[in-house]
Amino acid sequence: MDRIQVAIKIRAERGCFCRSHSREANRLIDEYIRNNHFHDYEYHEHESGPEIIAWLALGTAGVTVTKSLIDLVTTIIKACKKGEEKGDNFHGKLLLIVRDTHKTETSTEEFVLEIYDKDIVSSETIQKAIETGVNKKFNKG
């Protein structure tokens, strides 16, 4: 079974996601990461929003995203919403994006989900969006 590298980005539409402007969201994310161990992911902070680099198994039927990855993405999205409620400096929708690699001049982005302020997004919705985007990028779905 082949493994592929995928970048999953949670981009804040407006504002800054750095630690000084988004203290609460970063605190919640740090707490989650500290209490969980990830072997197939790297978490990266960016001012535009967090990014996860993941290595996923690619089978004949496509990619199935692991529960631990979905839980991490779900936690980040919930932390963003809670942070905004507590005064973190980003507003508007969040964009869930899938790329085939770290962002370079040759990489392409797939916008897989838009999450508005009052949206309640389930883990199942996030999983389906990521799997559909990854499978589309790798022509498996």
pLDDT in tens, 112-141: 999 987 788 899 999 999 999 988 887 655
In this predicted model, what pLDDT tens digit does every residue of 75-97 receive, in sequence order? 999 998 899 888 888 777 899 99
Give me the pLDDT at residue 35, please.
93
Q: Which residues of 21-54 are buried (b: 16+ CB within 10 A; e: fewer)?
A: bbebbbbbbeebeeeeeeeebebeeeebbbbbbb
Rounded mean pLDDT of 23-49? 90
The answer to whether the pTM exceeds 0.75 is yes
In this predicted model, what pLDDT tens digit does every residue of 10-20 receive, in sequence order? 998 887 888 88
